[in-house]
Amino acid sequence: MHELSIVMGIIKIAEDHAKAAGAHSVDEIELDIGTLSGVDMESMEFAWTQAKKGTMLNNSLKKVNSISAKAKCLDCDTEFDIKNYYDACPVCGEHLISILRGKELKVKSLLVS
């Protein structure tokens, strides 16, 4: 379950920023997670609940923005939504695509006190 290591990394980032700001707790954290990031949201939620205990995020509210995946065909330049890395262009059928978004996994914002 790599979600636990992801959550622990997120907590460390949030705590480091909160401490640098002179805060005592993180009240809210906002995350951007792409649909192609490889994160299982159910596993992440379980890991989050357990890992935040005893940290500056113990009572924090977590908001997750799901970023839908979008790609561009490198043959015909069509931009389209995708569900998987191997999806073909709906216009020309080409599989040579560039992922434009959907791989995100980042802390977007923190509210500290």
Q: Per the annotation, where are the binding residues for Ni(2+)?
A: 2
Detail the residues annotated as belonging to a binding site for Zn(2+). 73, 76, 89, 92
- Helix and strand tally (H, E) in the chain? 2, 6
Detail the residues annotated as belonging to a binding site. 2, 73, 76, 89, 92
77-96 CB burial, b ≥16 within 10 A, e <16? eeebebeeeeeebeeeeeee
